[in-house]
Structure formats: C-alpha cells, structure tokens
Amino acid sequence: MLKLPERLLLLRQERSLSQKGLVKEMGLALNTYVRYERGEREPTASVLVQIADFYNVSLDYLVGRTDER
C-alpha cells in the first residue's frame, strides 16, 4: 500500500494541479505542503480531513490503510 506522501502526490497529479495551485485552492502554506509530499512532516488531523474532503477520499485511503477510495 502507498503511504501518505505517495498518495498526496498521486492525487495531486490526477487532478493536474501544481503544488502552488493546490495550496492556493486549499489555503495551505506551500513550504508546509511540500514537506507533506516529501514525507518530512505529517499534517495535523484537521489538515488530513481537509485534504481528504478536497480529494473526496477517505482518511484511511489517504494515509494508506486501504486502497479503496
């Protein structure tokens, strides 16, 4: 199963979004989001929920606990 950084990258690429475009739509800081995708930092629970809602996937899918979106 994929881990959170890999899922973030995959989901963003599926929507053809740049990191800058994504953070603008979500209201996140670019440097912080880049660290999420690199696996250098983990988002808080509230940010995980925001990301899951944005991509319309479950939290379990986002963090790699399941492959079902």
Q: Is residue 68 part of a domain?
A: no
pLDDT in tens, 9-64: 999 999 999 999 999 999 999 999 999 999 999 999 999 999 999 999 999 999 99
Structure tokens at 69: 């979106």
Nearest residue to 32 (alpha-carbon basis) of 41, 21, 45: 41
Q: Specify the CATH number for the domain of residue 56.
A: 1.10.260.40
Q: Is residue 69 part of a domain?
A: no
Nearest residue to 62 (alpha-carbon basis) of 21, 19, 1: 1
Q: Is residue 29 part of a domain?
A: yes
Residue 1 confidence (pLDDT) above 70: no
